[in-house]
Structure formats: C-alpha cells, structure tokens
Structure 1
Amino acid sequence: MDDAGHSNAADAAMWPRLTDAQPMAPIGPSLRRLLSWYQLLQTVGLRFPGAPLSFLPPTAPAELRAALESTETRTEKDSLGIREVPAEVLWGISTLRAVENFPITGRTVGQIRELVWALGAVKLAAARANHELGRLDEARCQAIEAAAQEVMDGKWDSQFVIDRVQGGAGTSTNMNANEVIAHRAQQIIGDDSIQINPIDHVNAAQSTNDVYPSALKLALHWAMRGLIDEVALLADSFGKKAMEFAEITKIGRTQLQDAVPMTLGQEFGAFADAMREDVVMLRNFIPHLLELNLGATAIGTGITAPVGYRELVLKHLQQITKNNVIGARNLVEATSDTGVFVLVSGGLKRTAIKLSKICNDLRLLSSGPQAGLNEINLPPMQAGSSIMPGKVNPVIPEVVNQVAFRVVGADTTVAMAVEGGQMQLNAFEPVMADVLFDAIESLRNACATLRLRCVDGIEANEDVLSRRVAESVSVVTALSPLIGYARSADLMKQALEENVSIIDLAVQEGVLDEATIRRAIADATGHTQTVE
C-alpha cells in the first residue's frame, strides 16, 4: 500500500478490466492517475477505437450504432479539437459530441417528423432571406435550399440522431440540422471549390435561441392539428351513439347513488359535448404557436442579423409552411418566456383528464356482466384472464386512462421546465419538446383507438336499463311536482321497506295512475316518449 492508501492488489485487479492485459509489476501513482483518466473518459462516452458503444441507451437506433462502429471516417475540427466522424453520415463533429454527451432516452430528434420538417422550413426560409440580403451567393443558396427541402420532405430523418433530451437549450439539435443540410448541400453543389459551412452559411443570421423555439412551435402547431382532428372524430362518434340511444331511459347517478331518470342518449351526448368543448379550446391555441421570435438571434436584440432579415425570413417562412406566422412584438420577452408551452400542456392535460373520466364511466357502466351495472356492452377485444375462463376486460378504456396519467405527468414536467428558465433564455425547451410531442402523439392515438375499437361498437343493454327504471325508488323525484315532497319521501321510504317499485306502490296506494307516473318519468328526462 502506498502513501495515498492505494493497494497494489487493487491495482492488479483494475488493470485487466481496463487493458485486457496482465500487469507486469505494481503500478505507481502517475500511471494510476492515467488509468483513472482513461476510465473516466470511457465512462463519459469518449469512444476509443474498438471500444464498445456502452454509452448508448439500448433503445438507440440501430442505424446510429452501425454508423458509430464504422471504420470508415473523415476528420473534422471544432473549437474543442479534432474528431473522426463516420464517413457515410451527413452529420458532423458537433452532432457526434452531442450523441456522446446525451445518451439519455434513446429517442432521437429524427423520430419527431414534425420537428425535423420545421427545422428544414426555418433553414430554407433563412437561406432565401440571406440570399436576398446579399449574405448568401446564388450557388450556395440553391444548394442549401435543395438540402433543406429534402429535410422537410423527410428524406434525412435518420440523420437527426441526437437524443431529444439534451443540455444546451437545443443547440445540439440546431447544429445537427446545420451539419446535415451543409453536408448534403455540399454533395448537391458538387464543387469542392465552393465550400458550404454549417455555421457561416446554413446558420447565417441565426441563433439556436430563435431557430429552435420557432421550429418547436411550428412543429407543435402541425402535431396539434392532428390531435384536434382525432378529438373531433371521437366527439362525433359519441354523438352518433347519443342519437342511437336517444329513446332509452335509464337511472342517472350522483356520487354513485341512484339519482333521477335520464336517457342513455343524454349520457353519451354529454360525452360528445365534453370532447367538442376541447376541440374549440385546443383550436384557440393555434395562433399562439404561430407567434415566433425568429430574427431575435441570441437574446432578442437581433445581433448578427442584418437589417430587414426578420421581415424577410418571416415572409418566406409563411410562404413555405402556408401558415400565418407572425413576429413576436417583444423579441427579448419572446426569447426568454416559454409560457406558451404551459398553455399547450395545460390544454392537453385538460383533454386527457376529461377523456379519462369518460373512460371511467364506460368501465363502470359496462361492469359485470352479472354483479355489476351491466348497462352497456363494450366490444370484446381480447381474453381478459389467464385463470378465469371467459372473462373480458375493458382494455381500451383502461389504456386510455393510462395515457391520461402520462399526459398529466408531462404537464408537470413542462411546468417545472418553464419555471426553471433563467434570465434571457430557458435552457430546458428540449425536455418540453420531448414530453409535449409524446403527449400529443399518445393522446391522438388514444382517441383513435377509443373511437374505433370501443365507442363505435358500444351496445345498450335495454332490458337491464328498463328494469332498473321500473325498480328504482329514485323515480320518486319525478313525482314530487305532482304529489309534493313530503308524500314522495313517504312513498320512497315505504317502497324501500317493502322492497317494491315506486310505480307499483303509487298505483297500489291510489296516489297516481300508472300512465301518469310513466309520463312524469319521461318528462323528467326531457324526453317525450312514455317509459315502458
């Protein structure tokens, strides 16, 4: 053991793990420090030739693993030094460093089609604006335009390999886009004498701090439209069931206790309108997502952007995306404030919670079939138990419930990330993007699944519903306007004690005739047909 307390036995045990070689002699402090640095560099993700890609999450795309294991490389240099980059990829040294630095989720930016499209659109608009202002020559502009259009079209999604959750406020994502477009533009131009630089040309007059949030908002705008369409379709599906069940009377419930008569159509009509309300609410968010800070550059002062650039880039972006994008009134505020994401996330949470409540009702209404409510039948989708033969579970409403739980969790993430911003920039937009796109996609899929595999196939158990109305003492409320509250209460108490129906008891006691009672029950639902 040396003066620092290190044992040679421990050194001997460590050495084979690091070098796959047996030590010839005990190692000294200097070599030990070298080995410690080697181990640290392996831990943080610096890959040595032949070293395993242990820093990548298991869910990382296979294409990324294959690229990083390639022996064919090209040399690139940045302010931190020189690195070997896989020869066949379009991304470069900045992307490589980000891949190594952020092995977090295994979910890549390239898996968000909307975001890659929006990044391509922003870069295309910037190239056109810079060309008009004399910042970009014709040849480079045309090549960058062509490459950016390919990015928009989805040709290079697999080249956006950085983890969605990353430090740096989205700088890595912006540089991934810059490098892919620059390298592809270089291929398109086909002339090595005309070099296209990711920063000097593709990123001209831009900063991550205006490119990333602008692209993120555009991408969310696209994704939200798809969700809104699915919520509207689900509302229509509930509406069709409301019409189908309009003639079926049942007992409503408050606090899970029998309340007053209603129709099954009214119950499903309420589901429909609950979803229609959220269609309107979600549509109201759209204008907020089209207010961009593009042209703000670093903190909102527009540094490095030439006069007229902001107006031109917004004009071109509007033409490219066919969206009515507008510039934020206060660019410093728009660059530092991420409150719009709280608005969107809150809307998603509201829709998810309301949808989950509806699914709770569907599960309860379909419970049974013998010891539950058994008022409706959900389509049987799969066997429900490995031990109980014939059991069928409400698996579709259950999965929608679970999606809602995740969306509520995403909202908490967004709230904390927005609050965590400091000074002129919020560094946590990447995690906002990650959870928001996940929430939108899963909620959209949940709405479609619920509509197609559940709601469209729901059937009413009319015999059960009719019997419940006839047997329930709760219909006495419908008689109260005719015989008074006190007499109604006495009838209810007597019916419970004698275990008879209110209708039979009222007729037997000569309080009202049966036809009058059934008209009163029908009137109580707002439905004109007499209850049979």
Structure 2
Amino acid sequence: MKTRIERDCLGEMEIDDASYFGIQTHRMMKVSGAAGYPVIAYPDLHRALFQIKKACAKANAEVGALDAQVAQAIVSACDKLLEGGYEKEFPLDMLQGGGYTCVNMNVNEVIGNLANEILTGHKGSDQVHPNTHVNMAQSTNDTIPSATHLAIAPRLDVIIERLQALHSSFEKKADEFKDVVKVGRTCWQDALPLTLGQEFGGYASLIARLIKKLQAVRPGCFELVMGGSAVGTGLGASSGYMQAFYKHISSDLGEKVSPQANIFDGFQNPDFFVTVSGLIKEVATSLSKISKDLRLMSSGPRSGFMEITLPALSPGSSIMPGKINPTVPEMVIQIAHQVVGNDVAIAMAYDEGELDLNVWDATFYKCLFENLQLVGEEILILKRDCIDGITANRDRCRDEAQSSLAISTVVAATQGYPLGVKVAHYAKEKGLTVKKAVLEMGLMTKAEADHLLDPMLLVDPEKMAQAIAEWRAGKH
C-alpha cells in the first residue's frame, strides 16, 4: 500500500495514498461513529460547501490573495466533487463535536489533494494546502452555517413543488365530491351536514397556506455569514474579498446571495434554522391531522364511519382475512412524531448557543435534514398512493347526513331553540330522523320539511338563510 505522511498541530500520521481525505479526517474517524451513518447521507451540506469553497477561491484570486493557478485548481477540484463520485471520501459520522470543524477540514483536505493532483500529478500539500489555500479567509464558523443555509433551499424547493401537486389533488377531490353530502362532526359527535367536497376544499386551502409560508422563508437561505471568519470580524480576509465572494457565489448559484444584515448576530443566533424547522413541523403536523381525518372517515368497512374508501395497498392482518389498513395515513402520522421530536432538539440546540458562536451544528443538520427528507418524501407518497385514489361512499354519507339529530338546528332557527330541543329529544326517543319527527309533531308540512330539512340545502349558507327568511315571512 502506497502511503504519504501528513502533519498537523498534533503531529504526523501515515495516510493511505488512495484516500483524498487526510490527517484531520483520520483523527476524527477514530473518536466518532455514534450515529452510525455519515454526514453525507444527506449530501446537501457537502454540495453547498463545494460551492462556497469554489466561490472563495475565485474571490481570493480576484483580490490578489491567491495565485491564479492554485485558485483554478481548487475551482476544478470543486467542480469534480459537484459532479459526484467521491462520496466515500467524506466518511465522518453525523454526530460530531467542535461545530463541525472536522467536516470543514474533511472538505478542505479532499479539495486540497484533488487540486494538488491536478497541478502536480500527486496528492499532498506542496502546491495546495487545505488550510492555507482551500480555507483561505474562512473559518468553520462562517462556512458551516452558511453552507447549511444554502443547503436548505433545494430541499424547500422540492417540498414546495410537491405541496403544489398535493394541493392540486385536494382541489380535484373537492370538485369531485362537491355534491357528496355527509354529517359534520365536532367533538366526535354528529353535527350539521356539509359536503365531503367542502372538507377536501379545506385541506386544499391549508396546503396553499403552507406553500406561501415556505415561499416567504426561502430568501433567508441566501443570507449568509461568509466573510465573518472566526467570530464575525473577518480576520484573515483581504480587502474586497467579501464583496467578491458574494458576487461569485450569486453568479454560480443563479440566486441573489448576500451577507446577513449584522454578521455578529448571524454568528450568535442561528434562529433561521428554528424558523425553518418550525415550518417543516407545521407541514408534518398538518399532513398528520389530515391523515387522522382520512383514517377516521375510512374506518370500517362495515362498522366504522365508512364515508370514504382509501386505495388498498396491502393486506392489513396476518390473521384476519380481508382486513385492509390505512397504511399511508399511518406512515404520515408516524413521520409527524419524528419531526416534532427533531424540532424540539433543534430548539434546544438554538437555546444552548453561547456568546459569539452556536456550536451545535450537528444537531441542526441531523435533525433538520432528516425532517426535510421525511416530509419531502411523505408528500409524494401521500398524494400518489392515497389522495389520488380516494373514492366516496355516497349513499353512506347521505344516510348519515339525513339521520343526524343536529338537523334540529333548523327548527331552532325557524321556531326557537326550545322547540328545536324538543324535536331532537322526540327524534332520539322514537328512533326517527328529524324530518319524520317534525312531521309527526305537526311542526311543518311535508313540502316545508322536504325543502328546509334537505341536507344539501343546509350546506349552502346563502340558500339556507334565504329559505329560513321565506319560511318566517310565510308564517307572519
């Protein structure tokens, strides 16, 4: 095995020359591994770091701080990494101390060795040093938080796009079910009728609102602390570097990237991660609430609510033939459990930042990107394997609507609340519908009852108000 010797502030080490990562990566590999999977399992941070290192090299060359040939080699190395195929060179475990200094140095080492190889034909630091050149004018303290900001944007874009598709699915179902009248339920008790389409229209409206919130937070992904170096003062950077960096990163990404209004605030307070996490939690718990509704409405198929039928995806029991479970809604609910837990961890990590830097980058990254991954995928599955295939059990829904004692509210609205209570009690005691109770009690004619107590009339507030006004006018 061919090896090379590398040195750092703790000494020297013999490194397998087949590896592009170096001594600092090796040191951290020996004292980590608790999570059991690497940071690059969610590759977004590394891709953002490659973009940042590329823009830094361009900026340092522009201001005369970095040799143009070295800068170009670093840019070329970053381009190679962005193309993919080097994932094994980033083996560090997801949970690390030191504010992900080891992650920054792992990236610096790989870029440095690739760049040195481009210039000399071999790995090493004789032409490109990971600290001196690749990390020029930078610190882990500005690169990691900035890369995390940039890394969030593509994930948000996926979630927004998939929510837009889910919104369309709910709107289609709202239209499909617009004439499916059913009983409403409050506190799990029978309430006034509404249509299944109105319920699904409510879901569509919720999704549209979530999309707007995510779109509103997206610009924050492109507000960075790059240029602040270790504590926000920018020590080590040449004059003009900061402006040059933001010019190049904006050009490379095709987005307007800018420094945060107060760099010191940015170093002290990564509240943006809390904001994003809160919105992702809101998406997850909203989808969970919808899924719980679907689970109830589809319960049965003979002794539950039985209002809708979900797509049958797999047998639901190892012992009971014919049982089908609401597997997709239950998956969505479980994901909400995990997302909420991760959001709590993110809030704790933000709360425990001290003085001039919050070092809990591993908590932010692991928990936030697990949530982004879970929510992004669940939206796709929920739409494709559940919502698009839902059918309405129309007869069942109408029978429920007609049998609800809450229809006695119409009597209360036309003839007073006390009489409405009497009708409800009479119908319950006799096992009648409200319509039959009203007829037996002689409170309305059949024509009046057929009109005023039609569940489809009750779901339209304008028509219902007009019908009540006409009835009252006819009695005076």
More contact order relative to length (CA 8 Å, sep ≥ 6):
2
Tell me by how many angstroms 1:515 deviates.
4.6
Task: Provide closer, same or farther for how the CA distance between residues 73 and 519 of structure 1 changes in structure 2, counting only shifts above 3 A.
Answer: farther
Question: Is 1:339–2:253 an aligned residue pair?
Answer: no
Q: Give distance in 1, aligned partners of 2:446 and 2:30.
A: 79
**Amino acid across the alignment from 2:245:** V
Q: Give distance in 2, aligned partners of 1:433 and 1:294.
A: 18
Task: Provide closer, same or farther for how the CA distance between residues 514 and 342 of structure 1 changes in structure 2, counting only shifts above 3 A.
Answer: farther
Q: Give distance in 2, aligned partners of 1:515 and 1:282.
A: 51
- Which residue does the alignment assign to 1:177? 107
Using structure 2 for the length normalisation, give the TM-score. 0.93
Counting only pairs closer than 5 Å after superposition, residues 148-159 of structure 1 correspond to structure 2 as 148-159=78-89
Question: Is 1:279–2:235 an aligned residue pair?
Answer: no
Q: SS where residue 13 of structure 2 aligns?
A: strand
- Which residue does the alignment assign to 1:34? none
Q: Deviations over 1:49-92 (max 9, x none)?
A: xxxxxxxxxxxxxxxxxxxxxx5533211111122222212111
**Amino acid across the alignment from 2:181:** T
**Amino acid across the alignment from 2:394:** E
Identity of aligned residues (%): 37
Tell me by how many angstroms 1:397 deviates.
0.3
Q: SS where residue 426 of structure 1 aligns?
A: coil
- Which residue does the alignment assign to 1:467? 399
Question: Structure 1 residues 228-237 or 400-409, which shifts more?
Answer: 228-237
Q: Give distance in 2, aligned partners of 1:236 and 1:428.
A: 39
Q: Give distance in 2, aligned partners of 1:85 and 1:142.
A: 26
Q: Give distance in 2, aligned partners of 1:217 and 1:518.
A: 61
- Which residue does the alignment assign to 2:372? 440
Task: Provide closer, same or farther for how the CA distance between residues 90 and 514 of structure 1 changes in structure 2, counting only shifts above 3 A.
Answer: farther
- Which residue does the alignment assign to 2:153? 221
- Match for 1:309 among 238, 241, 248? 241
Q: Give distance in 2, aligned partners of 1:487 and 1:112.
A: 64
Q: Give distance in 1, aligned partners of 2:121 and 2:18.
A: 18
- Which residue does the alignment assign to 1:73? 3
Q: Give distance in 1, aligned partners of 2:59 and 2:95.
A: 31
**Amino acid across the alignment from 1:142:** Q
Q: SS where residue 285 of structure 1 aligns?
A: helix
Q: SS where residue 15 of structure 2 aligns?
A: strand
Tell me by how many angstroms 1:283 deviates.
1.4
Question: Is 1:524–2:458 an aligned residue pair?
Answer: yes
Question: Structure 1 residues 429-438 or 473-482, which shifts more?
Answer: 473-482
Q: Give distance in 2, aligned partners of 1:361 and 1:300.
A: 49
**Amino acid across the alignment from 2:57:** A
> When the two structures are aligned, how many residues end up with a matched partner?
460
Q: Give distance in 2, aligned partners of 1:514 and 1:82.
A: 97
- Which residue does the alignment assign to 2:387? 455
- Match for 2:165 among 215, 225, 233? 233
* Gap regions ≥5 residues in structure 2: 465-476
Q: Give distance in 2, aligned partners of 1:159 and 1:516.
A: 79
Task: Provide closer, same or farther for how the CA distance between residues 281 and 519 of structure 1 changes in structure 2, counting only shifts above 3 A.
Answer: farther
- Which residue does the alignment assign to 1:94? 24
Using structure 1 for the length normalisation, give the TM-score. 0.84
- Which residue does the alignment assign to 2:344? 412
Task: Provide closer, same or farther for how the CA distance between residues 358 and 509 of structure 1 changes in structure 2, counting only shifts above 3 A.
Answer: same
Tell me by how many angstroms 1:510 deviates.
3.1
Q: Give distance in 2, aligned partners of 1:155 and 1:318.
A: 25
Q: SS where residue 284 of structure 1 aligns?
A: helix
Task: Provide closer, same or farther for how the CA distance between residues 514 and 201 of structure 1 changes in structure 2, counting only shifts above 3 A.
Answer: farther
Q: SS where residue 52 of structure 2 aligns?
A: helix
Question: Is 1:267–2:199 an aligned residue pair?
Answer: yes
Task: Provide closer, same or farther for how the CA distance between residues 409 and 138 of structure 1 changes in structure 2, counting only shifts above 3 A.
Answer: same
Could you say what the CA RMSD is over the residues aligned between the two structures, in angstroms? 1.7
Q: Deviations over 1:262-311 (max 9, x none)?
A: 00001111111111111111111112221111000000001101111111
Q: Deviations over 1:243-271 (max 9, x none)?
A: 10001101000000001110000111111
Q: Give distance in 2, aligned partners of 1:228 and 1:458.
A: 23
CA contact 1:116–1:157 (8 Å) conserved in 2 = no
Counting only pairs closer than 5 Å after superposition, residues 115-514 of structure 1 correspond to structure 2 as 115-190=45-120, 195-514=127-446
